[in-house]
Structure 1
Amino acid sequence: MSLALPDHLRYIAVEGVIGAGKSTLARMLAEKTDARMVLESFEDNPFLERFYSDPERWAFQTQLTFLASRFRQQKALATRDLFQTSVVSDYTFDKDRIFARVTLDGDEHQLYESLFSLMEPTIPAPDLVVYLRSSVDRLMHNVALRGRSYEAQMDPAYLAELTDAYDRYFFHYTRSPLLIVNATQIDFVKEPSHFEELIRAIRQMRGGTTYFNPPGEMQLSF
């Protein structure tokens, strides 16, 4: 049975580091709420596989390609579907800047920031961001399970650096209401109660920052 999103939550974006479960949760939310689903088209980036094999050589090309792709996709969100007015996405436009701060430096990062700053004000802000915050061990486990060849040699140190970058970014995030989810402990696929509790927490969001732990788990620290 579908459960429509309340009127103040027409656009929800799910965020998190590689392997956090963003796309899985976005699909489940869209199905549960009868919303239009928007997934990032990362597989269209021709530089991604080369980036994982040689980050210093291919970081700039990879990042600019993602920036252009995400900009086009996010701008299209301004066009509402006539029959499905709610949207659930598995990323935010802000994601691009988080990754760029990790992968770029010097003149390349300055050029990237100039381009991002021109684009960002024209992008619609989500009504809610759900940040799936997970441990590096859990991220590595999830990455291994999905079995993408270009992720096979992913360095845990890279995921740790991304996790730190995400934490710093969302610690200061105020553009949208923010729900920070303890994704290390939650299993919204295998534990229906976790998903139902998360749905309830999402529907109750009105503003500010809220922390979500599955029932019976220790409080999340941030």
Structure 2
Amino acid sequence: MPTVPFIAIEGPIGIGKTSLAKKLSARFDFHLLKEIVEENPFLGKFYDNIEEWSFQTEMFFLCNRFKQLEDIEQKYLRKNKAVIADYHISKNMIFARRTLPADKFDKYEQIYHILTKDMPVPNIMIYMHASLDTILERIRKRGRDIEQNIKSSYLAQLADDYEAYMNEFEMLHPDIPVIRIDGDKMDFVKHQDDLENIISQVKQQMQYQQAISKH
């Protein structure tokens, strides 16, 4: 049976995940799954005081993303309808490991594994990365008030965490291709050629997976 495309885009805050997801969704006519961010009532407090508000923030994200993926599985993937998401739920562990104290992280990790045990896994990952300067510039340009208090040191740590996580992801999931996009060299919003390059890579991976699934 052919594999229905389920593509997830990942990368640090402000890198352009949602912008790319929208463009790919429009080009391929895939259902767009956008993560809930600004609706999180704890997020502003979190950026002001990470230690105080990390557990509430991470639990809100986990529960909402779980519900979103559950809906996506039932309404789209099981009906053989393709989906592109601007996040992967495993990002929760990247943030939780960075922000939660050890005792709360242990509890969080247990809940995470219970909730995600049977969740659908993307069959293509797009990983967007860039230098801290590029990330800061993109955050500034999009102008979300809630993000203006994010510390540069936190963003730098997060970028390193993502790099380590994606390297580990490729080792643990050799059957899931990872398309890496260098945000310092590619700007798919300004340059159509860059967008077409990414679209070409996605097409190639989808064709390859369809071919594999037929054998």
- Unaligned regions of 5+ residues in structure 1, if any? 1-6, 208-222
Give how far 1:84 is off: 8.3
CA distance in structure 2 between the partners assigned to 1:189 and 1:9 by the alignment: 27
Matched, 1:95 2:91: yes
- One of 42, 46, 52 as aligned partner of 1:51: 46
Give how far 1:42 is off: 1.2
Higher helix share: 2
Residues 188, 83 of structure 1: alpha-carbon distance in 2 compared, 3 angstrom cutoff? farther
Quick one: which amino acid aligns to residue 143 of structure 2? G
Quick one: which amino acid aligns to residue 202 of structure 1? V
Give how far 1:86 is off: 1.2
Give how far 1:78 is off: 0.9
Give how far 1:151 is off: 1.1
Q: TM-score, normalised by structure 1?
A: 0.86
For these two proteins, the number of residue pairs brought into alignment is 201
1:188 corresponding residue in structure 2: 188
2:65 corresponding residue in structure 1: 70
The sequence identity of aligned pairs, in percent, is 33
1:142 corresponding residue in structure 2: 138
1:201 corresponding residue in structure 2: 201
Residues 166, 9 of structure 1: alpha-carbon distance in 2 compared, 3 angstrom cutoff? farther
Matched, 1:30 2:34: no
Q: Highest relative contact order (Cα 8 Å, sep 6+), 1 or 2?
A: 2
Q: Summarize deviations over 1:72-92 as a string: whole Å, max 9, x none.
A: 111111124499811111000
Task: Classify the secondary structure of the residue corresponding to 1:162.
Answer: helix
CA RMSD of the aligned region, Å? 1.7
Q: TM-score, normalised by structure 2?
A: 0.89
- One of 53, 60, 63 as aligned partner of 2:55: 60
More displaced stretch, 114-123 vs 135-144: 114-123
- One of 156, 163, 166 as aligned partner of 1:167: 163
CA distance in structure 2 between the partners assigned to 1:126 and 1:147 by the alignment: 30
CA distance in structure 2 between the partners assigned to 1:105 and 1:179 by the alignment: 33
Quick one: which amino acid aligns to residue 196 of structure 1? E
Question: In the alignment, is the contact (CA less than 8 A) between 1:133 and 1:181 conserved in 2?
Answer: yes
